[in-house]
Chain A
C-alpha cells in the first residue's frame, strides 16, 4: 500500500512554545489530508481536513488559530500546535488519500506523541 510518513514520532516541548508536525505522502499525491487527535484508548477524533492549495476545514470545537494547518503541496501537510499547553498533550495522526481516488482508502502516518511540560 501507499506510504504516509509523519514526523516527528515523539516530541516533548515546554508550555508556550509551538510544535510543527509534518505529514508526507511518499509515493502518491494527496489532494486531501486529514488530521486526527487520539486520546488513550479512544477513537480518532477528526480535527480538520487539509486541502492542497486552500484553507483547511476545521471541525467544530477545534481552534484554527491554535492548530495551524498548511497543505502547500500535494505531498506535504503540516500541523502546528501554537502556544502549546499540557492539555494539548496527545497522539496526533494524519492520513492521506490518493488524488486519483475520490472515495477510497486513506493511509495513516505513524502518529506523533506530543507531550507538553
Chain B
C-alpha cells in the first residue's frame, strides 16, 4: 500500500517568513495530492490540492509543487500570519480496488510567532 512521509513534524517561524512542508510517497500510481489544515479540536479542511498531471499550483499565499519522478510534493506558505498556525497534513490518493483511498502523512505543527 501507499506510504506517506512528512517533514518536519514541527515548524516554528516568525510572522512574514515563508514555511515549507515536504512529503514523499511510495506508490507511483497515486495521482491526487491534497493538503489539509487542522486547527485544534476542529476538522481538517482542504487548503489546496494537486493532480499528477500538474507540477505546480498556487492559490494566493499557498502553493504546492509535485515531482512525480522523485515522488515528492511540498507545501509552500509565504508571508505567514499567526492565523496560519495549525497542523498541516499532506495526503496521497492511490487506487485500491478502485476506491482511491487517501493516505495521510503524520502532520506538521506550524507555529507562526507574531
Contacts and interface: CB of A to CB of B under 8 A. Distances in A.
Interface residues of A, number: 22
Given A42-B107, A43-B107, A106 B43 contact: no
Chain B's interface size range is: 20 to 34
Given A108-B43, A109-B43, A110-B43, A102 B100 contact: yes
Interface stretch (B13-21, B44-52, B62-70): B44-52
Given A105-B34, A108-B45, A111-B43, A46 B89 contact: no
Given A103-B31, A104-B32, A43 B99 contact: no
B5 to A, nearest CB: 11
A32 B97 CA distance: 12
A51 interface: yes
7 contacts: A32-B99, A34-B101, A46-B104, A102-B98, A106-B34, A110-B43, A111-B43
Interface of B: 31-32, 34, 36, 42-46, 49, 87, 89, 93, 95, 97-107, 109
